[in-house]
Amino acid sequence: MANVILVVGDTGTGKSTSIQSLDPKETYIINCANKPLPFKGSGEIYKVGSNLSEIDSSTAILNVLESINTSAAAAHIKNLIIDDSGFIMSEIYFRKSAEKGYDKFTEIAKAYQSVLSKCKSMRANLNVAIMMHEEDMVSNGIIVGKKGKTVGKLVDDQYNPLSVVTIALFTEVSFDREGKPQYNFITNRCLRTGVIIPAKSPQGMFNSLQVPNDLSAVFKDAREFYGN
């Protein structure tokens, strides 16, 4: 079973930037949003046809995952990133926008879960980070919590990606005395200015509630915790 981590956060809060600490020779990125990675030199070290795919179809993604999992040519890959994974849902939603009824929402949930399940079943020496945007949970006009963003309530009623992973980190941006942003991951459930952050990880995996947004360090801590 692969080491799968869900990383949830708003745009610009450090999800994709956390990739830059990984060794590109051991890393493969599935870029569902087909956008440039937000760190210097990324276009030179991650190239389509080598260690990068720009796809959002769940079927195409599953084919890539199977190749990484079983192909001898991909045995060197230790880190797999699915960036902006919400586009897996959006691709089906817009393709089937003219269809009526609830079936398409079931299909959307099943497609996303099929990718997540495949990641979990991959080889044990693989680290997987699935990036997902966050969304506000609102009650009586007040933001009370955060969740992973889907394509709407009809999917939410059937499926919660956070419920099927052991580790779900949420991004957090704070500012130092000079006003410079500090990018971190929240590792466990907590309350931030009255808002519930449903992050989770096994007790003792990380040494604090807040850790730097460094995927290399996150993967290392998770591996050491499980002893593999």
**Mean pLDDT confidence for 36-48:** 91
What gap in Å lies between CA 152 and CA 139, rounded to an integer?
16
User: Which residues neighbour 194 within 8 Å (Cβ) at sequence distance 6 or greater?
Assistant: 144
**What pLDDT is recorded for position 145?**
93
Residue 51: per-residue pLDDT: 96
Binning pLDDT at 50, 70 and 90, where does residue 142 land? very high
Query: Is the sign of the CA dihedral 11, 36, 24, 47 positive or negative?
Result: positive
Highest mean pLDDT among 14-18, 172-176, 214-218: 214-218
Contact 138, 153 (CB under 8 A): no
- Residue ranges of the alpha helices (H) in the chain? 42-45, 58-70, 87-95, 103-120, 153-156, 215-226
What pLDDT, in 10s, does the model give residues 189-201?
A: 999 999 999 999 9
For the chain, the C-alpha Rg in angstroms (whole number) is: 17
Model confidence at 20, pLDDT cuts 50, 70, 90, reads: very high
Residue 109: give its domain's CATH number.
3.40.50.300
| pTM listed for this prediction | 0.94
The pLDDT, as a whole number, for residue 184 is 96
What is residue 23's three-state secondary structure? coil
Phi and psi angles of residue 43, each rounded to the nearest 5 degrees, phi first: -70, -20
Region of poorest pLDDT, from 31-40, 41-50, 152-161: 152-161
**What contacts 102, CB < 8 A, 6 or more positions away?**
154
Q: What is Dmax (Cα atoms) for the chain?
A: 54
Whole domain around residue 220: which residue ranges?
3-226
Res 93: pLDDT: 84
Q: Which of 18, 74, 84, 24 is nearest to 54 (CA)?
A: 84
**pLDDT number for residue 176:** 87
Q: Are 182 and 174 in contact (CB under 8 A)?
A: yes
For the chain, how many structural domains are there in total? Answer: 1
Q: Which residues contact 132 (CB under 8 A, 6 or more apart)?
A: 6, 7, 8, 85, 86, 148, 149, 161
Judge contact between 183 and 200, C-beta under 8 A. Answer: no
8 Å CB contact between 170 and 159: no
Query: What is the pLDDT at residue 97?
Result: 80
Please name every residue paired with 182 in a beta bridge, in sequence order, or none if there are none. Answer: 174
Tell me, what's the pLDDT at 228? 75
pLDDT at 159: 81
Question: pLDDT tens, 56-102?
Answer: 999 999 999 999 999 999 999 999 999 999 989 999 888 888 888 77
| Residue at 100: amino acid letter | K
